[in-house]
């Protein structure tokens, strides 16, 4: 698997692939893919969510997490 892909296993034993896409002006995004569903989807699995990295880090005022 691509070294830029992070694999995360949740508390139910489901492995998700996470991929960060570098975009312009601090608008990087992170996409999560369910690795159980490859057939009919991408090699990473079924896309389940995409977030702005700054939102997850609490830097844009849309997160409940304080930076």
Could you tell me whether strands 15-21 and 29-34 are parallel, antiparallel, or unpaired per DSSP bridges? antiparallel
At residue 4, the pLDDT reads 77
pLDDT at 56: 82
What backbone phi and psi angles, to 5 degrees, belong to 54?
Answer: -65, -30
Give the residues of the chain that fall short of pLDDT 70: 1-3, 26, 61-67
């Amino acid at each position: 698997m691509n070294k830029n892909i992070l694999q995360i296993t949740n508390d139910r034993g489901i492995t998700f692939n996470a991929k960060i896409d570098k975009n312009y002006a601090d608008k990087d995004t992170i996409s999560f893919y369910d690795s159980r569903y490859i057939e009919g989807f991408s090699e990473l699995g079924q896309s389940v969510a995409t977030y702005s990295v700054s939102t997850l880090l609490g830097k844009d005022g849309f997160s409940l997490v304080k930076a």
